[in-house]
Structure 1
Amino acid sequence: MDPYEDPRLPVDERVEDLLGRLSLEEKVGLMFHTVIEAGADGELLEAPGAISKSPTSDVVVRKHLSHFNVHALRDARQAARWSNALQRLAERTPHGIPVTVSTDPRHAFIENAGASFAAGAFSQWPEPLGLAALRDAEAVRRFADIARREYVAVGIREALHPTLDLATEPRWARQAGTFGQDPQLAGDLGVAYLEGFQQRAGLGPEAVACVTKHFPGGGPQQDGEDAHFPYGREQVYGGGRFDDHLAPFPRAIDAGTAAVMPYYGMPVGLEVDGEPVEEVGFGYNRQVVTGLLRERLGFDGVVLTDWELVNDNHVGDQVLPARAWGVEHLDPTGRMELILHAGADQFGGEECVELLLDLVRSGRVTEARIDESARRLLRVKFRLGLFDDPFVDEDAAAAVLGCDEFRRAGFEAQARSVTVLRNEATGDHDGPVLPLRPGTRVYAEGVAAEALVVAGLVPADAPEDADVALVRLGAPFEHRDDLFLEAWFHQGSLDFPPGRVARLQRLAARVPLVLDVALDRPAVLTPLVPVCTALTATYGSSDAALLAALTGGIPPIGRLPFDVPVSMEAVRRHPEDVPGFGDDALFRFGDGLTLP
């Protein structure tokens, strides 16, 4: 047994022993973290997939990659079988470096190949905004612990989350993955999240390493446009609130986050400690990654860049340009060199090992610099116990993933997170319309009739046959589909189209209207409030969970995680970095009614 194989030795001793044995090619392979897809029956894919670029054996055996971001997983057995096959392949490499499988969030409702996946076989919970609506750190810790157990069961050992960005710009597409607009709440819940995933005792064989993102806060996007796309590259601080956006991250570092991910965004007009910050994307920015994160905040864990800072991504007939904001003039080799100079350890979404090998062989990057990052990356693998046993039990995975206990906990959180914003009386009630009484006749749009029946309500075929109407809406957005991933991102205006408002007005004239709006972004609700008798906000709740809340079976206790603006005019004149809308808020952070 070589020292690095001996679990009795300290982690740092094992790391140094292995590092001294690795070839340059093996060390370079550690520094790439790309997308991978699982076969339908758990087999390894030996041809490029829909999103992944290369056969699995090519990236593992020839390129020496050992960090992969897995996309679609069908069920527990498929996921576990695939994970074991991947680890068996990794055993064939010169030193048997085990694979670290990572994932974007996959426990809620939003399906977006660039940011998150719907739960599928995993237990289903509200989006992080809904966890924030609960105002309960212990509930977040419980979610994270359950998610950890499900991840570990199928071999996922790294979470590309939590997202500690602040939801201060209501047009921004990624608010659903945040804990809202308040830095204190985001920090409180972020720490609880890390404690549930990484465990309070620190990384170990049952833990999941977390990548906290997007440093130093990805929320204040100019005009709310997302930095995945060239038109959204700028981050701005018109209100001078950079410190608010930074505030959750030192707490995550103190809580032991294994890794940090800088965002794509390019700061414009930003000064930190009196010094102007270079206007290049945060992943390229030495002042931010080395000066602020490493030196000032003392972070010595892994820095993983966001995806595809080096090369354009071509998928089918679409392209997503490399997010080389501010350094578009550099070629891929120059971009990679600058990322390393900034202080990053790992290239997200890339597998171009030959570029880094050329940089070392040409003398532009030293092997000592490669060792620095390889050491950090190996340390996490050893702490997770992957070198000692990377395999999972397929039967145990099937028993854990989405078990009844976990699904009940997720369902309860979905119902409790429902936020009641309006609840008026009607002529047929001796009080407010909510909670809905058993036997109430309900005309529903956007709600399954079967869910009404299970909740003890009676479906009505027409408004005139109903006691109330129940309508579920999504927050409005402008559909875009030119660049790859664009169609999944909800961006643009927050105004409901006038025809939708007119139709709701006609419906409300015939029967009391209970309206639920799914707030993945804070929609302009102003024209809807006079129309409805009751108004709720949800952040990832099934029909059944919503009805459990509306009937009072599980009392809704949600509180708004952000201000809801009164108009798009108010949004346009509001500085992107400032939490809350003051007098321009229709509803405010913390608003929410209790059912009688």
Structure 2
Amino acid sequence: MSEWLVTSQAPDGTVYRDLNGNGVMDPYEDPRLPVAQRVRDLISRMTVEEKAGQFFHPMIEAGQDGSPVETGAMLMPHSTSHTIQRQFITHFNVIMLPGEAKVAALWHNRVQKLAEQTRLGIPVTISTDPCHSGGDNLATSMLSGAFSRWPEAMGLAALRDVDAVREFARIARQEYRAIGIRSALHPQIDLATEPRWARQSGTFGPSAELTTAYVRAYLEGFQGESLDATSVACMTKHFPGGGPQKDGEDPHFPYGREQVYPGGLFDHHLQPFLEAIDAGTSAIMPYYGMPVGAVHKGRAIEEVGFGFNKGVITGILREDLGYDGVVCTDWQLVTDSPYSPARAWGVEHLSRAGRVARILDAGCDQLGGEECTDVLLSLVEDGTVPESRLDESLARLLAVKFELGLFDDPYAEAPERAGTPEAVTAGFDVQVGSLVLLKNDGLLPLAPTARVYVEGGAFPEGVDRPEEADVIVVRLDAPFEQRDGMFLEPYFHAGSLDFAEETVARVRELAAIGPVIVDVKLERPAVLTPLADLATAIVGSFGSGNAALAHALVAPGAMRGRLPFQLPRSMTAVERNQADVPNDLDDVLFPEGFGLEYK
């Protein structure tokens, strides 16, 4: 038995956790009872303050020494103990995980001990954004040294292998559970139909058919056939599809709040969510955006952010699509922060209380990135939100905790299962296989003895000067416009897809010295036209590391990827693209599905 787990024994021999310390196995503590019965019993025992805490899903920071953060947090307004023991919040999105799995597990278990000391002992659920790719983005994903490394979701899409998606999810599930993470704030199944959109690297691309196939495999890998004590619960996002952003801007920012549908394809973007619902996704997250000119079943959709939008959440998601699971808003819809305004698009005029009331009326169960329990309690006290409305969402939220087995044993006890050699090898193989070969004028594969000079990366035994090399490798980020006027803007690479002239000039200079291989990290499509004649070979990558690229360049048949989206010939073609229409570019340099091989 776990050294962290304290159990009692009922007169009939049943082992249980006496969470409220009354010496009796109450129904919510009885591991033999159906989940619905345990949920009803627990709700009947909760005060309104304890109920209110379940409605919030804020950030939590992990101490790098394994301690709960009590002072000096960057994104936590209160200490960990205050938030759990005085606000009764039990859902958290972790950031800044310790690099060692055993330290991360220690932190998680100490947080669970804080929850165990509350009146009812409701366990904590720890969630995370994606942690397994090369990207490190405070807003959307992060690196964890404890885990194996894989390409971005777009790289999984490039591999065109449903089984690889399922295997990634299975391994990620094992690694999450090893340190106590039981909720995944992914998959992201938006259709990436606007080439400039900053968040498409986390998607499976613009194809509804491929995304639909991948989301089922993803959910099977993380959750299994149904939620149980071995599962990681997935929060599928962003309903009803966040890809059709006006000019490719992102609704994290006021200037990017509009989603547009010039092609009339609002319903097309719903297709992957139908599959996610059928596959049993534990939760769904609406996006920030507000629809402009959107129509569903012949009815215009109200132009307010999706998290506030009753026609979208209740009308479409719950009634039309039949979804009855948890709906959690995207982060920070209610409270202005010192860094940015609340993303209350279309309802900016409402007070914080008005925004919370509107979110609940829309049909959402939980508020991401918020912890304004006082606001919700005031709405209950003045009769705006009846306590019965709280109970409706609590039934969904608490059921997930029971299904995951957290009430019976919430502790992480297997940190050694994170970052195993088998997991690392599997991730590396997919990093290699997901690379897309776009051009090869007889240069590849390289001889293992070739002398290589690298810019923008590092290869084993590379030479120091391009003049000393047999071949020159240039690793480039996809182009974007540098912005840093608002919090998080530097993390969202938006704007033009054209390379800067100095970048093109540098590749031209190197090409005059020797054959050049250009690898472009395609977090978004890029206009490769000015590089196409300069490079002897061109590779597209999606979060593959230097070692994976180095291996692929010398290994015949290693690159198996196919472009998951079109690559435009010019920005003029991008500007003509209809934001909601998949693969709508009318002038392409490389088509969707393109990829060369070499023997």
TM-score by length of 2: 0.95
Contact (CA 8 Å) 2:576, 2:585: kept in 1 or not? no
Alpha-carbon distance in 1 for matches of 2:260, 2:589: 24
Q: Do the aligned residues in 2 keep the contact of 1:565 with 1:581 (CA within 8 Å)?
A: no
Give the alignment partner of residue 250 of structure 1, picking from 254, 270, 274: 274
Match of 2:174 in 1: 149
1:282 counterpart = 2:306: yes
Does residue 1:236 correspond to 2:246, yes or no? no
What amino acid sits opposite 2:85 in the alignment?
V
2:160 pairs with one of 135, 146, 154: 135
Task: Give the CA deviation at 1:246.
Answer: 1.1
Distance of 1:572 and 1:592 partners within structure 2: 25
Q: Is the Cα–Cα contact under 8 Å of residues 80 and 153 in structure 1 kept in the other structure?
A: yes
1:95 aligns with 2:120: yes
2:191 equivalent to 1:177: no
- Name 1:556's counterpart in structure 2: 559
Q: What letter corresponds to residue 441 of structure 1 in structure 2?
A: R
Structure 1: gaps (5+ residues): 425-431, 454-458
Q: Distance in 2 between matches of 1:465 and 1:43?
A: 50
- 1:119 corresponds to 2:157: no
For 2:417, the equivalent position in structure 1 comes to 400
Distance in 2 separating the partners of 1:436 and 1:153: 40
Structure 1 residue 483: Cα displacement: 1.4
2:331 maps to 307
Partner of 2:107: 82
**SS at the partner of 2:529?**
coil
1:356 is paired with a residue whose SS is helix
Does structure 2 conserve the Cα–Cα contact (< 8 Å) formed by 1:415 and 1:554?
no
Deviations 1:489-511 (CA, angstroms, capped at 9, x unpaired): 11111110112112211211221
1:481 alignment counterpart: 484
Q: Does 1:25 align with 2:49?
A: yes
Question: How far is the alpha carbon of 1:412 from its aligned partner?
Answer: 0.5
Secondary structure class of the residue paired with 1:535? strand
Rounded Cα–Cα distance in structure 2 between residues aligned with 1:342 and 1:145: 34
CA apart distance, 1:8: 0.4
Q: Does structure 2 conserve the Cα–Cα contact (< 8 Å) formed by 1:109 and 1:119?
A: no
Residues 452 and 41 from structure 1, CA distance in 2 versus in 1: closer, same or farther, beyond 3 angstroms?
closer
Does residue 204 (structure 1) correspond to residue 228 (structure 2)? The answer is: yes
- Check conservation: 2:230, 2:404, Cα contact below 8 A: yes
Which shifted more, 493-502 or 58-67? 493-502
- Decide which of 530, 541, 544 is 1:541's aligned counterpart: 544
Paired letter, 2:552: A
Residue in 2 aligned with 1:72?
Answer: 96
Residues 210/495 of structure 1: CA separation in 2 closer, same or farther (3 Å cut): same
> Secondary structure, in 3 states, of the residue corresponding to 1:452?
coil
Question: Does structure 1 residue 160 correspond to structure 2 residue 177?
Answer: no
- For 1:413, the equivalent position in structure 2 comes to 430
Q: Does 1:298 align with 2:322?
A: yes
Q: Take 1:465 and 1:15, find their aligned partners in 2: how far apart are those partners?
A: 69
- For the residues of structure 2 that align with 1:209 and 1:592, how far apart are their CA atoms? 35
Q: What is the distance in 2 between the residues matched to 1:582 and 1:568?
A: 10
For 1:520, which of 510, 515, 523 is the aligned residue?
523
C-alpha contact (below 8 Å) 1:412/1:554 kept by paired residues: no
Q: How far off its partner does 1:582 sit?
A: 4.5
> 1:505 touches 1:531 (CA, 8 Å); kept in 2?
yes
Asked whether the equivalents of residues 573 and 586 of structure 2 are also in contact (C-alpha less than 8 Å), the reply is no
**Alpha-carbon contact 2:125-2:401 (below 8 Å) kept:** yes
CA distance in 2, matches of 1:40, 1:211: 26
Partner of 2:471: 468
Aligned twin of 1:427: none
Task: Tell whether the 8 Å contact from 1:552 to 1:595 is kept in structure 2 after alignment.
Answer: no
* Distance in 1, Cα, partners of 2:85 & 2:517: 58
Q: Distance in 1 between matches of 2:533 and 2:366?
A: 52
Counterpart of 1:556, as a letter, is M
**Hey, which bits of structure 1, 4+ residues long, moved more than 6 A?**
none
Of the three residues 443, 453, 460, the one matched with 1:452 is 460
Query: Aligned AA for 1:502?
Result: A
Tell me if 1:368 matches 2:384: no
Residues 495-547 of structure 1, C-alpha deviations (whole Å, 9 max, x = no match): 10112112211211221111100000101111110111100000011111011
Q: Match for 1:493 among 484, 493, 496?
A: 496
State the distance in 1 between where 2:136 and 2:587 align.
Answer: 32
Which letter maps to 1:434? Answer: L
The answer to whether structure 1 residue 55 and structure 2 residue 79 are counterparts is yes
Question: Is contact 2:206–2:583 with CA below 8 Å preserved after alignment?
Answer: yes
| Mapped partners of 1:581, 1:238: distance in 2 | 12
The residue correspondences of 1:285-364 to structure 2 (distance < 5 A) are: 285-314=309-338, 319-364=339-384
In the TM superposition, what whole-angstrom CA distance separates every residue of 1:23-78 from its partner, at most 9, and x where no partner exists? 11111111100000011211111125111221011110110000000001122112
Shift of 1:446: 1.9
Q: Secondary structure at the match of 2:391?
A: helix
Question: Which residue does the alignment assign to 1:428?
Answer: none
Q: Deviations over 1:540-583 (max 9, x none)?
A: 11111011111116711001111111111111121111111343
User: SS of the counterpart of 2:183?
Assistant: strand
Contact 1:474/1:519, CA 8 A, preserved across alignment: yes
Which of the residues 366, 387, 398 maps onto 1:378? 398
Q: Which residue of 1 aligns with 2:451?
A: 441
The amino acid across from 1:387 in the alignment is F
Equivalent position amino acid for 2:39 in 1: V
1:34 matched to 2:58? The reply is: yes
- 1:460 and 1:4 map into 2 onto residues whose CA distance is 65
Q: Which amino acid aligns with 1:137?
A: V
Bigger CA drift: 172-181 or 237-246? 237-246
Q: Classify 1:148/1:468 alpha carbon distance in 2 versus 1 (closer, same or farther; 3 Å).
A: same
Q: Residue 476 of structure 2 contacts residue 521 of structure 2 at CA under 8 Å; is this kept in 1?
A: yes
Deviations 1:453-483 (A, max 9, x none): 3xxxxx3333333221111111111121121
Q: Which AA in structure 1 matches 2:221?
A: G
Kindly indicate whether residue 535 of structure 2 is the aligned counterpart of residue 532 of structure 1: yes
- The one-letter code matched in structure 1 to 2:154 is L
What letter corresponds to residue 435 of structure 2 in structure 1?
Answer: V
Identical residues among aligned pairs (%):
58
CA distance in 2, matches of 1:369, 1:588: 50
The aligned counterpart of 2:5 is none
State how far apart, in whole Å, the 2-side matches of 1:188 and 1:325 are.
32
The reply to whether residue 109 of structure 1 matches residue 126 of structure 2 is: no
- Tell me by how many angstroms 1:208 deviates: 0.4
Q: How far 1:171 moved relative to its partner?
A: 1.0
Length, aligned pairs only: 574
Secondary structure at 2:398 match in 1: helix
Q: Secondary structure at the match of 1:249?
A: helix
CA distance in 2, matches of 1:119, 1:411: 15
Q: Do the aligned residues in 1 keep the contact of 2:136 with 2:143 (CA within 8 Å)? A: yes
In 2: Cα distance, 1:352 partner to 1:464 partner: 61
Which digits, 9 at most, give the CA deviation of each residue in 1:388-411, with x for residues without a partner?
000112xx21x1111111000000
Distance in 2 (CA, whole Å) between partners of 1:190 and 1:531 is 38
Instruction: Classify the secondary structure of the residue corresponding to 1:153.
Output: helix
Alpha-carbon distance between aligned partners in 2 of 1:320 and 1:197, rounded to the nearest angstrom? 33
Structure 2 gaps of 5+ residues are 1-24
Say whether 1:227 aligns with 2:244: no
The one of 575, 579, 582 aligned to 1:576: 579
Q: 2: distance between equivalents of 1:541 and 1:306?
A: 28
Q: Indicate conservation of the 8 Å contact 1:86/1:99, yes or no.
A: yes
Q: Which amino acid aligns with 2:164?
A: A
